[in-house]
Structure 1
Amino acid sequence: MTIHVSIKEAKNRLSDLIRSMERGERVIVTRRGEPVFEMVTPRPGGIDFAALDRWKEERGLPRHIVGPLPKDFDDPLPEDFLITPLRYPDEAEQK
C-alpha cells in the first residue's frame, strides 16, 4: 500500500508514518498534489569489497591496480606547487 501525504500532514503525522513504513508501506510526500520525495527505510550500504575482488578476478585484473599508496600521500602539498601555474605541452609551442 502507498500513502500519499502533504508536507504539512507528514510533519504532523511523522511518528504514525514511520510506523507505517516499518510495516512495509510506502510513504510519498507531496506539494500541491505533486510528489516531492518518498520516505524510505534505511538499507544496508557501503562497498562490498569481496564482490569487487571477485569482479576483478573474473576479468583477470590485479587485486591492487595502483599498488599501495605512499606514506606521504595525504600530506599537504608544498606552497610553491600550489601557486605555480600548470604548463601544458602545447602552450610551449604557442609562444
Structure 2
Amino acid sequence: MWCEEKAANEMKDKVYWELPDGTNAIEITEVPSYKCNECGIVYQTDEQVKEIEDQLFLIDTKQLEKSLTYQELMEKPRLLKRNYFDFG
C-alpha cells in the first residue's frame, strides 16, 4: 500500500495511540496489520485506523489501561452508539 508493492502479509502488531483528548497514549497489542514483503513497513488499513479512533472517541478513556489488546479495546462499552461528529 505504501510503496505500491502488491504483496503484503496479514499479521498482528503492537501500536501506540494518543487518546482523543491528548492527555495520554496507550499501547494496543494484537492489532490486525499488514507487513510489506518488499520494504518491510508494517501498517494498518485506513478502515482499521478509523475503527480504533472511533472506538477511542466513543468510550470512557479515563478508565483505560495503559496497555490492552485490540479485542479488549473493541469490547469496551460505548458511551454513544456512533461517532456523530464524523461527517465523512
Question: How would you bin the TM-score normalised by the shorter chain?
Answer: under 0.3
What's the TM-score, normalizing by structure 2? 0.18
- Which is richer in strand? 2
